[in-house]
Structure 1
Amino acid sequence: MTVALMWEARAVEGRDAELLEWVREQWLDGTPLRREIFGAREDRVLVITWWDAPYDADLPEFPEPGPELVARPVNRWRFESLDVLPD
């Protein structure tokens, strides 16, 4: 089974580049199948990691950044892959 962990944070206004750099410096215990970083309007950063694991597996999560970088608590979601479409 493939499990995707999503982590989303909103940077303090004007600190999105610093939050992005912080995210890039984070290492997880274990190696995900894939790790992808996204940016969005309103200074948001999203990280998705894919894992070959059961849905309820104990997987490493990104930590909470310091309050000087984020405007609100981090959002986290867990999903399981249900279907893969061809490219």
Structure 2
Amino acid sequence: MTIMWEAEAADGRLEELIDYVRTAADPSADVYRSRDGRVVVIDPTGRGLDDVPPELLARSPHAWPFERVHR
């Protein structure tokens, strides 16, 4: 199961949130950022991220489980 995790950074805290995610996410996870202050993690281990420092967030993160569709 893959987890897609998404969070919106608090004002002026995007780089700090990215730094946190880089160290906390599994090394196999892909990390993306948007121009509007969002961070998305695609984690193939299914672990996702927990315990993000709340001061880095504009709101609670969202996470969705996905299953691979083979083609």
Larger Rg: 1
CA gap 1:70/1:82 in 2 versus in 1, 3 angstroms: same
- Provide the C-alpha distance between the structure 2 equivalents of 1:73 and 1:67, rounded to a whole number of angstroms: 8
Q: Do 2:4 and 2:40's aligned partners in 1 also have CA atoms closer than 8 Å?
A: yes
Root-mean-square deviation (CA, aligned residues, Å) is: 1.8
**SS of aligned partner of 1:68:** helix
Structure 1 alignment gaps of length 5 or more: 52-58
* Aligned residue in 2 for 1:47: 41
TM-score scaled by length of structure 1: 0.71
- Provide the C-alpha distance between the structure 2 equivalents of 1:71 and 1:27, rounded to a whole number of angstroms: 19
* Aligned residue in 2 for 1:66: 53
> Which runs of structure 1 show a deviation greater than 4 angstroms over 4 or more consecutive aligned residues?
none
TM-score scaled by length of structure 2: 0.85
- Provide the C-alpha distance between the structure 2 equivalents of 1:43 and 1:63, rounded to a whole number of angstroms: 19
- Provide the C-alpha distance between the structure 1 equivalents of 2:48 and 2:30, rounded to a whole number of angstroms: 14
Percent of aligned pairs sharing the same letter: 34
Deviations 1:6-58 (A, max 9, x none): 11110001110000000011155xx7xx310000122111110114xxxxxxx
